[in-house]
Amino acid sequence: MAIKRIPVSEPCLGKNELKYVTDCVRSGWISSLGSYITEFEKKFSGFCGMPYGVTTSNGTTALHLALEILGIKTGDEVIVPSLTFIAVANAVKYSGAKPVFADSEYSTWNIDPKNIEKLITKNTKAIIAVHSYGHPADIGSIKKIADKHKLFLIEDCAESHGALYRGKMTGSFGDISCFSFYGNKIITTGEGGILLTRSSKLYEKAKFLRDHGMSKKRRYFHPEIGFNYRITNLQCAVGLGQFERINYLIDKRREHAYYYNELLATVEELTLPPEEIWAKNVFWMYSILTLKRDALAQHLSKNGIDSRPFFIPIHKQPPYMDKKLSLPVSEDLARQGMNLPSSARLSKTDIRRICETIRYFFKNNQR
Ligand SMILES: *Cc1c(COP(=O)(O)O)cnc(C)c1O
């Protein structure tokens, strides 16, 4: 009998997701108007402690919309971590601005606040802090730097739904925070995103630009070039069902992570994921570091277990290649890092099988 292949991630969908989607189809409210959108926006922004939420077609368009409503434009610079998903730099490029890459720190695997200040020039307008793999960035220190230099702070919380910094939600520190609800995120709408803000002005501007820049007073009058960055009621129907279970989905990931930690604790050649004393890590992806990363990934794959290498630092990607730039921590983490299966649907038996496969690999690679 063939053993089941364990995927790195898969969505965990429940009964209400289906019920709410069925309701959309039955009622005909399948497009980008409808009560699931407004309810999802209200509930999700409330969960994060932010007054306003504007859903978007995905997390990348949320980031781009954030930069647009802050007035970021050609000639501006935006400081971003290099070790993250490429959408962060791409969104900056879409706005016309230049992404400036900062190194990461070993203690959180996130942008290093000590690296930010020396990158600030007279053209710097904003910092995008990403909370990677579920662990919050040192957002308190980053916010201090942003305030001191009068820079906008955008939080990218695509990977940190529900993660806490000193007891406060990630996504409640910046001028704007952006989330993704892609299929592998902690809660999903299939594709989708949201932008949160405390400012009613930014909120209105985001809704305006999301919908082709159409005037609220005069239909089909467009004072500015906008976008179609809308989500659908169908997607938010899934999102609302997911939202109702968000605490369960986070708790499952944390439970799995601690089980992994327990079973891998004695493997000397591994570095287990960080969790600073001030942090609640939501372990979007349970991740480890090892110098034998590629060989281990191959061994896992042969045994029916999928894994994923860390992101390639953005300054090493063809469109952003900067051969003179050296970001040693990002480059080292990228070389050693891998994500293990992390879905909320994993069973303890799955995790035991994964950890036994890892332990076997290291036992037989010992000299
Ligand atoms: C997933 C992700 C995004 C992009 O989200 P999409 O919904 O796929 O566009 C942006 N930033 C980070 C850090 C992500 O992990």
Q: What is the CB < 6 Å shell around ligand 1?
A: 58-60, 84-85, 87-88, 130, 156, 158-159, 180, 182, 193
Ligand 1 centroid from CA 181, angstroms: 8
Alpha-carbon gap, residue 13 to 17, rounded angstroms: 7
| Amino acid 4: pLDDT | 87
Ligand 1 centroid from CA 158, angstroms: 5
Alpha-carbon gap, residue 306 to 292, rounded angstroms: 16
Ligand 1 centroid from CA 60, angstroms: 6
Nearest residue (CA) to ligand 1, atom 7: 59
Residue 168 β-bridge partners:
165
315-358 confidence digits (pLDDT tens): 999 999 999 999 999 999 999 999 999 999 999 999 999 999 99
Query: Which pTM value belongs to this model?
Result: 0.97
Ligand 1 centroid from CA 59, angstroms: 5
What is the mean pLDDT of each successive set of 10 residues along the chain, which is 367 residues long? 87 98 97 97 98 98 98 98 98 98 98 97 98 98 98 98 98 98 98 98 98 96 98 98 98 98 97 98 98 97 98 98 97 98 97 98 81
| Amino acid 345: pLDDT | 97
Among all chains, which residue has been given the structure tokens 């070039």? Answer: 225
Nearest residue (CA) to ligand 1, atom 5: 59
Contacts of 126 (CB under 8 A, 6+ apart): 67, 70, 72, 76, 78, 79, 151, 152, 153, 154
Ligand 1 centroid from CA 116, angstroms: 22
Ligand 1 centroid from CA 311, angstroms: 12
| Amino acid 366: pLDDT | 64
Q: Which atom of ligand 1 is nearest to the CA of 193?
A: 7
Mutate to test the pocket of ligand 1, among 110, 156, 195 (most ligand atoms within 8 A of CB): 156
239-283 confidence digits (pLDDT tens): 999 999 999 999 999 999 999 999 999 999 999 999 999 999 999
Across 201-216, b (16+ Cβ under 10 Å) vs e yields ebbebbbbbbbeebee
| Amino acid 1: pLDDT | 56
Nearest residue (CA) to ligand 1, atom 3: 59
Mutate to test the pocket of ligand 1, among 8, 131, 182 (most ligand atoms within 8 A of CB): 182
